[in-house]
């Protein structure tokens, strides 16, 4: 038997995005996962359970119910993920990008990204290429078509490209100044850059803080830099409860004159938000919300 490092429930929550409360409920309701106990009586999980839970999380996000998935073994879950991910309508350019990424040739990937940017223009490139490509990369990793190295390569090349584009877009002093970041614990930053480029195309000045900014520092940055809007990117890997709690807290700390926006896959199925928190389900909505600073609601 191979050496199997045991993981804590906190490790499982971090790696899968499934809260420890949900894991305990599944354990009682579906008899999965079945943890071991260490000398202190704490739950521990092996690598196979981690893999199964990662696949289950992916399938849950596609709309399936946990009751249907909890009894499936690793191979069955892998087959189901491949079936769900076998989208016949995958754009050809996205499939070409995946194949180029699999080849591992950095220069070829960089050249293809630049060619697609020139062909589509920035707005269509972000919405019609980058957005589906992000999903396709995640699906390719889950199905084993690419490795974590390939995923990291894609993220870094795209990050550098979008930063270069962003820094060369003109700023319109009459448009709103927008601070963009993520909450602590949210490590995915591509969504920030995509939104930053779309807003900058409208002339907005973007204050880009990167990922995992403490809430108090978000408030300080927005007030000291006279921002009209704070935008938060939320991926599916953060629990909905955490996202909702942090949005409410940030809204309470921000001056009422500063709008609070949130977008990304992590805002799906959030509970009702208080007044002053605007949720965006797609990128088109975010770009359309850019406005002059002298326009009031």
SS3 content of the chain, % helix, strand, coil (to 5): 55, 10, 35
Q: How far apart are the first and last CA of the chain?
A: 64
- The predicted pLDDT at position 164 comes to 94
Note the Cα 10 to chain centre separation in Å.
20
Distance CA 178, CA 105 (A): 36
pLDDT by residue (tens digit) across 184-214?
988 888 889 999 999 998 888 899 999 999 9
On whether the CB atoms of residues 238 and 266 are closer than 8 A, the answer is yes
Can you tell me the mean pLDDT for 123-132?
90
Report if pTM > 0.85. Answer: no
Can you tell me the mean pLDDT for 120-133?
90
Q: Please, what CATH class does the domain formed by 177-289 belong to?
A: alpha beta
Distance CA 237, CA 138 (A): 12
pLDDT by residue (tens digit) across 40-66?
999 999 999 999 999 998 888 766 778
Note the Cα 165 to chain centre separation in Å.
21
Q: Which sequence spans correspond to the domains of the chain? A: 7-82, 92-167, 177-289
Q: Please, what CATH class does the domain formed by 7-82 belong to?
A: mainly alpha
- The predicted pLDDT at position 105 comes to 82
On whether the CB atoms of residues 159 and 208 are closer than 8 A, the answer is no
Q: Please, what CATH class does the domain formed by 92-167 belong to?
A: mainly alpha
Average pLDDT, the chain: 86
- The predicted pLDDT at position 35 comes to 93
Task: Check pLDDT > 60 for residue 145.
Answer: yes
Distance CA 125, CA 112 (A): 12
């Amino acid at each position: 038997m191979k050496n199997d490092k045991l993981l804590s429930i906190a490790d499982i929550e971090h790696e899968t995005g499934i809260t420890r409360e949900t894991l305990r409920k599944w354990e009682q309701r579906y008899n999965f996962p079945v943890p071991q106990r260490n000398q202190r009586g704490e739950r521990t999980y092996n690598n196979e359970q981690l893999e199964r839970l990662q696949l289950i999380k992916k399938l849950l996000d596609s709309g399936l119910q946990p009751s249907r998935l909890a009894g499936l073994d690793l191979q069955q879950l892998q087959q189901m993920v491949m079936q769900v991910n076998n989208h016949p309508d995958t754009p050809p350019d996205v499939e070409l990008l995946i194949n180029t990424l699999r080849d591992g040739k950095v220069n070829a990937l960089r050249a293809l990204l630049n060619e697609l940017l020139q062909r589509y223009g920035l707005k269509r490139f972000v919405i019609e290429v980058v957005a589906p490509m992000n999903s396709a990369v995640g699906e390719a990793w889950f199905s084993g078509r690419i490795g974590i190295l390939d995923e990291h390569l894609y993220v870094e090349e795209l990050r550098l490209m979008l930063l270069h584009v962003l820094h060369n877009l003109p700023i319109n002093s009459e448009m709103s100044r927008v601070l963009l970041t993520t909450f602590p614990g949210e490590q995915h930053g591509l969504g920030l850059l995509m939104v930053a480029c779309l807003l900058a195309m409208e002339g907005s000045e973007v204050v880009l803080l990167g990922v995992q900014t403490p809430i108090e520092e978000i408030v300080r940055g927005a007030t000291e830099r006279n921002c009209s809007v704070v935008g938060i990117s939320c991926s599916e890997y953060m629990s909905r409860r955490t996202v909702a709690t942090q949005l409410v807290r940030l809204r309470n700390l921000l001056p009422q004159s500063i709008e609070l926006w949130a977008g990304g896959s992590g805002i799906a199925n959030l509970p009702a938000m208080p007044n002053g928190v605007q949720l965006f389900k797609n990128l088109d909505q975010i770009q359309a919300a850019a406005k002059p600073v002298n326009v009031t609601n």
